[in-house]
Amino acid sequence: MITRYDSLPCILLLALPTLAFGQAGRERMNVRTKGELQAVAAGALKVVDPDGAQWIVKVDPKSRYNVFQGSATVNFLRPGMFVSFRGSFDRKGKPQAEINQLKVFTPQEDSRLGVKPVSSGFGAGGLFTAEEEEEAKKKPAAQPEVLPLDVSGRIRSIKGNKMIVLAGATPLTVNLAEKVQIGFAIADFRLVKSGDSVEVSGWAYPNQPNLVMASRVTITAAEPLGVEKEEKPAKMPDLNSLDEF
């Protein structure tokens, strides 16, 4: 787990807003740096760059440019998460193939949730409209037409590899492939760990160059999230060392 406060004085972090960022009207300089995350406390990050220099980075929790990214396993997925993926469906919304790739994301104000054809060649009248269903009834039975669709929505439920996603007003049930590739790019730093890589853009005062007010922070996980830790079997005692009854 991430080190909190280790070698990062609490007094310094608590004083950050007044020490470095409460000096209105002073000259500022732009800062860009990257390094390894060492600690998190009081809305700030401690980052060590490749040269060993230490940076204290003040994070704006409301910034849309805070990104925690990386890869994950199915165990990371939870109801309520927002996901996007591409899949193949018939016109009734029944999946025709397993999902091989999926991304977890944090929606922004301009994010569009729902289902849309990968190509507009299938018509703009919707995916499962009453007109299409009525027309289909008039035609001889045939193999279902496969529609490649881009889906963005919220996970309603997930059990094993079966997932129900509410994409706008459309609930879709899909099956995740055994080796599904899952990526994430979320605005949530609660799962970051020491050792993750950090890239920062922001500003600082010239007399305090290592105290940075971040405008953009990207943290990349050093390890996949959701990996179950293997429990080591209990060590059996050496019977030869036991006293005889």
∠ CA 96-116-151 to the nearest 5 degrees?
65
Task: Specify the DSSP class assigned to residue 16.
Answer: H
Contact 113, 152 (CB under 8 A): yes
Pick the CATH number of 10-59+189-220 from 2.40.50.140, 3.90.1150.10, 3.30.930.10, 3.40.50.150: 2.40.50.140
Coil, strand or helix at 189:
coil
Domain boundaries, given as residue ranges, for the chain: 10-59+189-220, 79-186
Q: Is the per-residue pLDDT at 10 higher than 50?
A: no
Task: Specify the DSSP class assigned to residue 75.
Answer: G
Q: Is the per-residue pLDDT at 28 higher than 80?
A: yes
Of the listed ranges 1-15, 136-150, 196-210, 224-238, the least confidently predicted one is 1-15
Question: Which residues 6+ apart lie within 8 Å of 87 measured at CB?
Answer: 95, 96, 97, 99, 148, 149, 151, 172, 174
Arithmetic mean of pLDDT, 184-211: 95
- H or E segment to which residue 64 belongs: none
Quick one: which of 95, 76, 97, 123 has its CA closest to 177? Answer: 97
Predicted pLDDT at 136: 55
pLDDT band at 7 (very low <50, low <70, confident <90, very high): very low
Arithmetic mean of pLDDT, 194-222: 96
